[in-house]
Amino acid sequence: MKRYAFLVRGINVGGRHKVVMEEFCRELEELGMSNVSSYINSGNLFFDSSLMKEELLLVLE
Write out the residue range of the structural domain in which residue 20 sits: 2-60
Question: Can you give the pTM of this predicted structure?
Answer: 0.83
Count how many domains the chain has: 1
Largest separation between any pair of C-alpha atoms in the chain: 36
Q: What is the pLDDT of residue 11?
A: 79
Q: What is the pLDDT of residue 13?
A: 72
- H and E: helices and strands count for the chain: 2, 3
CATH number at residue 27: 3.30.70.1280
Q: What is the pLDDT of residue 41?
A: 79
Q: What tens-digit pLDDT sequence spans the chain (61 residues)?
A: 999 999 988 777 777 778 888 999 999 999 999 999 998 877 889 999 999 999 999 999 8
Q: What is the pLDDT of residue 59?
A: 93
